Amino acid sequence: MRKRWRWLGVPGFLVATMAGATCPQWTAAQARQELGALHDRLDGWNHAYRVTGQSPVDDAVYDQALQRFDRWRACFPQQAPAPLAHLADASGAVTAPVAQTGLAKLPDAAAVATWMRSHGSNLWVQPKADGVAVTLLYRDGELHQATSRGDGLHGSNWTAKALRIAAIPRHLPNAPSRVVLQGELYWRLPSHVQARDGGVNARSAVAGAMARDTLDAATAAHIGLFVWDWPSGPADMPSRLAGLRAMGLIDSADYTQPVGTLADVQRWRRRWYRQPMPFAADGTVLRQSRRPGASTWRAEPPEWAVAWKYPAAQALAEVRAVTFTVGRSGRITPVLELEPVQLDDHRVQRVSVGSLRRWQQLDIRPGDQVEVALAGLTIPRLQSVAWRAQQRPPVIPPDPAQHDTLSCWRWVPGCELQFLARLVWLGGKSGLQLDGLGPDTWQALIDAGLVHGLLDWMDLTAAQLAAVPGVGDARAEALLHAFAAARARPFKRWLRALGMPASGTIALTDWHTLAARNDDQWQASGGIGPGRAQHLLAFFRHADVRALAAHLHALGVIGF
């Protein structure tokens, strides 16, 4: 279906909308800058593929970047640079014997079920091998021509390279006089598990090899062939598969299985995703048994075959904002707020940069495009900066000189984040275990003007708590009970809640004894070196910490 665009006039800006998508709100000059930057980045990646066969980015990220480039070009045709050639080639001098159609992508199981209902019961499923497409022409059983996908109608002549790839048969036994096969050249990956290993840039390895001028024997040995269709073959799938087996293409035929229900498709999909395969696969393909004659095929997705891709293990995401957290120890952590992306079963909207130094080195700003992945299949992880926005809005982080392990014991300007982190730690599982006290409740007490210091909550009344928005009488009583119980917590737990550095095996008797220890006495204790001893001395001698200890002593907390 042809996409329809609608242009909206906004003074000073070019704004376009497409069904299901909105174009960036850029000026003409900014559109030219951003498109040029993405064009250059894609061109650089393509160059790396062709020259070294290595991918600077994950294949899925490359695909998403290319799709974004095409979308932006459609949004801003007047500002767009020339289109990019595909990785291996965009066209070529050789006319393909049958058009390479490509496949429409279905987003989810519901869409697959709908497609199956409208296409009858004689359906088949295959793994979607993640490689580069090739068309093979045999005459009288002998390989006559190998053509790249190109633009679907014309491609590059890969015949000389195909003759060096052992996986591509030079001769087909039991073959009709003219055979046209379409399939995928893939990178051999013995015992590859897609769910565990991901795409491992297997496609770029093949594409880079086929794009270079020569194909050496060692590289050719790594390339396999999966035939996914026989356009010139019999009209129905069982007959085509029988013919492929007779011609020696047994593995290709074995990976095409009949399905009658969505559950059948899902079973094969899970199997090929979670069990060892000889190649990377980025999804599954559904095909009708019968389809139109090959002479009618066009270089566009057909109605009789579709793809259902696996969830991406890595994705391209636009940075909406850069925020910062400050932990109780003063550690500053930059966090990227992202345009939501789907990674496996996870919707990812934010990712940690890890450290302030790393963020400064990467210099990530709103508008930048970053590559994210799942660490251990659960935690979003920042992989790299794919490319940078040309307009660089300022981002001002917290001043690291104002934050350390002994800063921010009160709610004062510049200390808001670290002070809140201290309260959360103090009341959490590692601290006093105060039931019902999380970040939101602490913030509500701060906003109500009731908590300015780390222990102000210990002096609050039920009436004060009940007046806090969202608390009320019943919860106020529960909080008051938790506060009262905190006074009876053991001395050791109070020290941990206040953030005392680890003290090895020393007996934690009382505040006075610990505060009186000198450097040598700390180091004489098991497990404490010079650095830790200095941290302990600094903690017990810090004026704010001493004031907290005096407050706890006045309240009768044991040990102080």
Residues assigned a catalytic role: 128
CA–CA dist 131, 303 (Å, integer): 23
Q: Assign residue 91 a region: left if phi > 0, alpha if psi is -120 to 50, beta otherwise? A: beta
Which run of H or E residues covers position 7? strand 5-10
Nearest 5 degrees, angle CA 119-CA 124-CA 128? Answer: 110
Dump the DSSP string for 471-507.
THHHHHHHHHHHHHHHTTS-HHHHHHHHTPPP-TT--
Backbone angles phi, psi at 212, to 5 degrees: -75, 160
Backbone angles phi, psi at 42, to 5 degrees: -65, -40
Helix locations, 363-471, DSSP H: 416-427, 439-447, 462-466
CA distances from 126 to 149, 495, 509, 540 (A): 20, 61, 69, 67
Q: From 284, 166, 172, select the one nearest 233 (Cα to Cα).
A: 172
Helix locations, 223-285, DSSP H: 237-246, 250-254, 262-274
Q: From 100, 55, 44, 105, select the one nearest 207 (Cα to Cα).
A: 55
Q: From 291, 295, 351, select the one nearest 325 (Cα to Cα).
A: 351
Collapsing DSSP states into helix, strand and coil, what is residue 289?
Answer: coil
Give the number of residues written for the chain: 560
CA–CA dist 217, 236 (Å, integer): 37
CA–CA dist 379, 391 (Å, integer): 30
Helix locations, 255-293, DSSP H: 262-274
DSSP assigned state of 311: P
* Cβ neighbours around 30 below 10 Å, total: 19
- Half-sphere exposure of 190 toward its Cβ, with a 13 Å CA cutoff? 2
**CB-CB contact of 300 with 101 (8 Å):** yes
Query: Edge-to-edge strands of the sheet including 132-139?
Result: 142-148, 132-139, 178-187, 223-229
**CB-CB contact of 389 with 367 (8 Å):** yes
Beta strands in 149-270 (DSSP E): 154-155, 178-187, 223-229, 257-259
Which run of H or E residues covers position 393? none
